[in-house]
């Protein structure tokens, strides 16, 4: 049974293999019987990749090879002989002084360098690029109080808006995806793009990714999460499964938004505080939150392929169980019971029922 699975699944490459999404994607690919070639900057760094080698099937079907986003040709060996490439590698850093050098160049040039290697391959069937709903939701036409805007795969964030307000991550995702589409068209590469919203769930790499750290800080009483604004949220397992689904579905084409539910920061923290009363979650923020533009992400296109994302309670239950297991969450001090009353269980999910 094992050898027939390997024959049917083949070999795929995953860039940025030690990242949050990439690690979970590799876990799912190995579970499904693929041979996986993970591209990382330093394949000899066993400590950074230890979580990958611990995955079921890794010893038999995982190979780590060198790949550097800023070095043209460095992905040639990683891509050679592969039928599919999942380009998940991205620069997710806190800008210190130069947004172009620290985030824009690594993301845009890195994507083109990977695609240059793909264009040389004689075995490649499809490339799946990980973009983000950050390339969809930052738009000046959302700033209309009381209006509901539905965003789908035809929607793009505004380059002018992101530049004006220095939303560098979003700008990097917009520009890198647009360059990828141009390159794919010119070189006849079958490209499909997945646009996840804010990813929640167990984080295989350690130390935590920036996304996971932001959630950990929020659950420990941090008050800076308001800067994210209204966002969609999605389980990391659904993101990985979406990548594999669009890779395996011959008719898949274009962009696919991958998200379960949207919420403002205030809606989210109130929901979390009600659902997990034992945690030190603050319902206040350091800065007064502006009025949030109201939008919804249309995920019909991905649902038609058969993927229905896990709801908010499942993704946060899984995330919190993982963080508690790692000893990374602070619990509220135990209180002496003064009443026999119990919290209304039905109220826990009420905040987001109609969001």
Residue spans per domain, the chain: 2-332+347-352
Q: How many helices (H) and strands (E) does the chain have?
A: 14, 12
Strand partners, 138: none
Q: 19, 87 in Cβ contact below 8 A?
A: no
Measured CA to CA, the distance from residue 168 to residue 343 in angstroms comes to: 43
As given in the structure block, the two tokens for residue 35 are 């041979």
**Residue spans of beta strands (DSSP E) within 61-125:** 62-66, 84-87
Give the chain's end-to-end CA distance (angstroms, integer).
46
**Residue spans of beta strands (DSSP E) within 251-353:** 254-258, 261-263, 294-297
DSSP state of 257: E
| pTM score | 0.91
Q: 106, 91 in Cβ contact below 8 A?
A: yes
Q: Write the burial class of residue 299 (CB in 10 Å: 0-12 exposed, 13-18 middle, 19+ buried).
A: buried
Q: Which residue do the tokens 């094992």 mark?
A: 2
Instruction: Report how far Cα 299 is from the mean position of its chain's Cα atoms.
Output: 15
- Spell out a b/e string for 103-127, using b for 16 or more CB atoms within 10 Å of the CB, else e: bbbbbbbbbbbbbbbbbebeebebb
Q: Does domain 2-332+347-352 have CATH number 1.10.10.10?
A: no
List, as own/partner pairs, every contact residues 98-102 make where C-beta atoms lie below 8 angstroms and the sequence separation is at least 24, other chains included: 99/166, 99/168
> In a structure prediction context, what are the per-residue pLDDT tens digits for the chain, which is 355 residues long?
344 444 559 999 999 999 999 999 999 999 999 999 999 999 999 999 999 999 999 999 999 999 999 899 999 999 999 999 999 997 666 677 888 888 898 899 999 999 999 999 999 999 999 999 999 999 888 756 566 789 999 999 999 999 999 999 999 999 999 999 999 999 999 999 999 999 999 999 989 998 999 999 999 999 999 988 899 999 999 999 999 999 999 999 999 999 999 999 999 999 999 999 999 999 999 877 666 778 999 999 999 999 999 999 999 999 999 999 999 999 998 776 655 544 454 444 544 644 5
DSSP state of 184: H
As given in the structure block, the two tokens for residue 30 are 């190995």
Give the neighbor-by-neighbor strand order of the sheet with 254-258: 62-66, 35-40, 11-15, 84-87, 126-130, 191-196, 254-258
């Amino acid at each position: 049974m094992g050898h027939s699975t390997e024959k049917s699944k083949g070999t795929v490459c995953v860039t940025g293999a030690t990242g949050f999404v990439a690690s979970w994607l590799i876990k799912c690919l190995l579970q499904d019987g693929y041979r996986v070639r993970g591209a990382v900057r330093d394949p000899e760094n066993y400590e950074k990749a230890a979580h990958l080698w611990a995955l079921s099937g890794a010893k038999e079907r995982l190979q780590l090879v060198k790949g550097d986003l800023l070095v043209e040709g460095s992905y040639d060996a990683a891509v050679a002989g592969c039928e599919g490439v999942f380009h998940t590698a991205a620069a997710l850093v806190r800008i210190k002084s130069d947004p172009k050098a620290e985030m824009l160049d690594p993301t845009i040039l890195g994507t083109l360098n990977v695609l240059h290697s793909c264009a040389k391959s004689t075995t490649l069937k499809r490339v799946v690029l990980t973009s983000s709903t950050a390339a969809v939701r930052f738009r000046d036409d959302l700033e209309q109080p009381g209006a509901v805007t539905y965003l789908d795969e035809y929607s793009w964030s505004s380059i002018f808006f992101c530049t004006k307000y220095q939303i560098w991550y979003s700008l990097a995702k917009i520009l890198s995806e647009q360059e990828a589409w141009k390159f794919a068209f010119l070189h006849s590469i079958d490209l499909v793009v997945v646009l996840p919203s804010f990813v929640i769930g167990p984080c295989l790499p350690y130390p935590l990714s920036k996304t996971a750290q932001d959630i950990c800080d929020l659950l420990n009483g941090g008050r800076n999460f308001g800067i994210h604004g209204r966002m969609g949220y999605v389980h990391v397992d659904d993101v990985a499964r979406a990548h594999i689904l669009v890779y395996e579905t011959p008719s898949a084409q274009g962009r696919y938004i991958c998200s379960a539910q949207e919420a403002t920061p205030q809606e989210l923290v109130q929901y979390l505080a009600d659902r997990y009363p034992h945690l030190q979650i603050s319902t206040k923020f350091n800065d007064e939150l502006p009025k949030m533009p109201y939008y919804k992400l249309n995920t019909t296109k991905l649902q038609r392929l058969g993927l229905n994302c896990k709801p908010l309670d499942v993704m946060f239950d899984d995330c919190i169980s993982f963080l508690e297991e790692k000893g990374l969450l602070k619990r509220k001090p135990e209180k002496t019971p003064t009443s026999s009353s119990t919290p209304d269980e039905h109220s826990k999910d009420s905040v987001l029922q109609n969001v």
